[in-house]
Chains A and B, each alone.
Chain A
Amino acid sequence: MEWEVVIGLEIHAQLATKSKIFSGSSTAFGSEANTQASLVDLGLPGVLPVFNAEALAMAVKFGCAIGADVNKVSVFDRKNYFYPDSPKGYQTTQLHHPIVGMGAIDITLDDGSTRTINVTRAHLEEDAGKSLHEDFQGMTGIDLNRAGTPLIEIVSEPEMRNAKEAVAYFKKMHSIVTYLGICDGDLSQGSMRCDCNVSLRPKGQEEFGTRTEIKNVNSFRFVEQAINVEIERQRDILEDGGVITQETRLFDANKMETRSMRSKEVANDYRYFPCPDLLPIVIDDDYIAAITDTLPELPDAKKQRFMDEQGLSEYDARVLTATRELATYFEETAEKCGDFKLAANWVMGELSAALNKNEVDIQGCPISSSNLGAMIARIKDDTISGKGAKSVFAALWNLEEGDKKGDDVDALIDSLGLKQVSDSGAIEGIVDDVLANNASQVENYISAEPDKRGKMVGFFVGQVMKASKGSANPGMVNKVLKQKLDEKC
């Protein structure tokens, strides 16, 4: 039977607020356990939550960015369950009245085609703490530093049809929240996590099949792998005539399988009800308008601008706008050198290769956009050759932090002796010497058939470059040589 895959994602994005959603504690990652947990985060008797307005602004910003209905009244609910890293015995979330209603984003697939994926809703909630099972023999440690970190949970419609679409959607959401500056997007630290709902149905059938939910997948690659292995698992069961159990599953990247979490997640009745400690969030049109005014240029708009105004290809524009950091780096580089296409070639070529090879991301790039731009400008004005530029690039990459040579790219080029001789008089002098010293080759050239001569120029170019110790501008050398040789014919 031919099956159709149905995928919906729930993405949890930690909001980049300074303090927690209901307390004044810092949200910074990586502090010593329980040093960022206040009375409120600890859930002590008698304490009360106070909603952080910064979290509201960020959630509304997200809603505006995806063209969603931002709800003027939204309500916090309590989701009741017992777990040691949930200090109050309930999570404060939004069930019936989320802050962000229906919206949509466009995703671009590898072949450049685009699809619109609808976003059902996005709601505010608090993150839980962490249970630490290592380091405590026979016991579990609880770290509540993360408890109360604000999250938005972004719920998609079940509109994705394969793992690649799901990854494209996740990447696009990542790009949007990082462009907006509402999430640092650091997947490795759990700043963004994804629950994947996967089901299969016979092609053409309207009704959805039974779904499973793969919890807490925390990288783009894992999303693709987890969904694909889950699709395979479900397909095997269905083709054997079995039924899918609706359940939450965990992805194991080492074993390349998903497995049931049932043991821990006993069919919970969360007994949601409105949190009586918090008032409904009420906002008005003016508030939404003020937030809309602060929206930065988003990836789609930036990509379009790169194509329309700078003539970049769709592919280049898409790659360069994939993350806010890369787009910013690229734009700064391009503006510094004044040539978007050349800058695109360098950023996507030499720079990307170096970043990949050294396993650093653009934030950790040792070459500043300003230096790269300055270097590209020197290619553009023929101060250095493309080959020389590679040496300059390598030198810039390997500069120690604080090395003053990085402050002046021109001085660096000088010190490396990579400045091209582009002065026509100087080049003519070298050419004349080379021609004089190689009279027999000149004779051969003159006597050769005109259509063979082109190939023979290479010899003289090599001699001139050698004579100039590689500093002559090859373009000019070619031009001068041709001119001089043709004069002799």
Chain B
Amino acid sequence: MHNLTLTQISQGLEAGDFTSVEITQHFLDRIEALDKKDGGFNSFITVTPELALRDAKAADERRANGNATKWTGVPFAHKDIFCTDGTLTTCGSKMLGNFIPPYDATVVDNFKKQGAVCLGKTNMDEFAMGSSNETSYFGGVKNPWDKNRIPGGSSGGSAAAVAARLVPAATATDTGGSIRQPAALCGLTGLKPTYGRCSRFGMIAFASSLDQAGPMTRTAEDAAMMLNVMSSFDEKDSTSIDQAVPDYTATLSDNIKGKIIGLPKEYFPENLDPEMAATVRTAISEFEKLGCTIKEVSLPNTHLSIPAYYVVAPAECSANLSRMDGVRFGHRCEDPKDLSDLYCRSRGEGFGEEVKRRIMIGTYALSTGFYDAYYVKAQKIRRLIKDDFMAAFAEVDFIMGPTSPTPAFKAGEKTDDPVAMYLEDAFTIATNLAGLPGMSIPAGKVNDLPVGLQIIGNYWQEAGMLNIAHQFQQVTDHHQQAPQGIE
């Protein structure tokens, strides 16, 4: 049952093959058996069986009353960055280890309206800062393909849960690659939409101008079904954009013949592992067989992405995380002596190392005397990066390359080397800086570990990206493969 895709579950519910209560119970049992016990994946921070079964029952009743949607009764999970009314929302941090929001994020609300059944909240790097899920206060997450390896991050819990078939799909967020890189490392389909596509209201901010929600699924078809619900214009988010939401499932089968695919030479650098490069190129050649044209393009400012990102994202986070001050919610130190002590110890104890590192980098970058040299310059680089993409999209329909420079690495391998960790996102960060949509789909394996193919589209081209990804998945089976022992 757990091998069913999201789309198949939706169809099964509609056909009456099983009830929502049955399928929900099935996944809850799997989570219980495989995730929470010692040696489990640890992909969930919070599991909410009572709520899930209550919602499943309500969904079955709704279906019986004849007003079910495609999503009614379908189980899934939320990344623990989305505020859920009455349910613990930690953002992977000790700081919010006791935070129960009194409201739902807009994305959460969108699923609720459909009668979808949320099973719990998935693990993540603390405040979405990390590429391996190792910065989570609630412990690392194991990659279902190799439990000694990390699942990627920051949406590592969502990725591991979907890869391990603990849920058919999960929400995720991506600030510099946090959907696409874990999708790649766990053999999944992950999509970061155009900035402004999904509401950020209720999604705990890391870097406001870069954060965007998106789906983590096994197939492009499922990602389309997810994106249909996640997308919405929201008056509560001033940066959400009032752009019509198409039915992303409607164009999946469109013919992709004649589409032009650009390969940026900067995404295939000389030091890229040859096996990685070969696997990605082999996948891209499938598009040629489907009638697409391949063309080399250049994104000359790619090398500036990481430096610019590590100014902008920390700068924004340094302010965004100031509200975690121990005053109104979250962790508060014992017996503060005075206000300064309250702030220093509450934050000192509540935040982990990586979060502190980024707050300090951001604070430094915004300081008097450095602002122009860092923040203003980084904003100029964002413009250059966007211009690179616009020049490329004048010639091609989509840009492709590897999602990450390596497959999943071993836990602990890069934890002492933040810069090596930051390089994990070398190919994904530029799209966030430009606000463009990017996605990762399974492209094959290196050393028995999944490798992701990244597809970058022009603004609002999610439907087209899902279309070509779906067509690729019609002629390949990478997305159907499961980690050993999962089937």
Q: Which residues of A contact B (CB under 8 A)?
A: 39, 42-51, 78, 80, 82, 84, 87-90, 140, 142, 269, 271-273, 276-279
Contact = CB atoms under 8 A, between A and B. Distances in A.
A84 B322 CA distance: 11
Contacts of A87: 323, 327-328
Contacts of A51: 238
B329 interface: yes
Q: Top 3 closest A-B pairs, CB basis?
A: A89-B322, A271-B366, A276-B208
Contacts of B375: 273
Contact of B239 (A44, A45, A277): A277
Contact of B366 (A82, A89, A273): A273
B203 to A, nearest CB: 6
- Residue of B236, B324, B330 most packed against chain A (CB within 10 A): B236
Interface in B238-286: 238-239
A84 B368 contact: no
Contacts of A278: 238
Given A45-B204, A48-B237, A89-B319, A82 B325 contact: yes
Given A44-B102, A45-B99, A80-B366, 9 more contacts: A44-B101, A44-B103, A45-B101, A45-B205, A46-B82, A46-B201, A47-B202, A82-B343, A269-B368
Given A39-B103, A276-B208, A88 B322 contact: yes
Given A43-B328, A87-B328, A50 B323 contact: no
Contacts of B371: 271-273
B102 A45 contact: no
A82 B359 CA distance: 14
Interface string B155-175: 000000000000000000000
Contact of B329 (A44, A48, A50, A82): A44
Interface in B55-100: 82-83, 89, 91, 96, 99
Contact of B83 (A42, A46, A80, A88): A46
B367 A46 contact: no
Given A39-B103, A273-B315, A273-B371, A50 B236 contact: yes
B361 interface: no
Interface residues of B, number: 45
Contact of A45 (B89, B236, B319): B89
A88 B324 CA distance: 8
7 contacts: A46-B203, A47-B202, A48-B237, A49-B238, A89-B322, A272-B366, A272-B371
B149 interface: no
B376 to A, nearest CB: 9
Given A45-B99, A271-B363, A277-B208, A50 B238 contact: yes
B112 to A, nearest CB: 16
Contacts of B237: 48
Contacts of B209: 276
Given A87-B328, A277-B238, A48 B101 contact: no
Nearest to A38: B103
B339 interface: yes
A271 B315 CA distance: 9
B304 interface: no
B479 interface: no
Nearest to B99: A45
A89 B346 CA distance: 14
Given A269-B368, A277-B239, A46 B322 contact: no
A476 B230 CA distance: 89
B238 A89 contact: no
B316 interface: yes
A80 B322 contact: yes
Contacts of B366: 80, 271-273
Contacts of A49: 238
B105 interface: yes
B106 to A, nearest CB: 10
Contacts of A277: 205, 208, 238-239
Nearest to A79: B319
Contacts of A140: 339
B235 interface: yes
B200 interface: yes
A45 B91 contact: yes
Contacts of B96: 45
A272 B366 CA distance: 7
A48 B200 contact: yes
Nearest to A40: B236
B388 to A, nearest CB: 22
A45 B324 contact: yes
A46 B107 CA distance: 12
A397 to B, nearest CB: 50
A45 B96 CA distance: 9
Contact of A82 (B91, B201, B322): B322
Contact of B105 (A46, A78, A84, A279): A46
A44 B89 CA distance: 12
B327 A142 contact: yes
A481 B83 CA distance: 93
Nearest to A84: B327
Contact of A80 (B89, B101, B319): B319
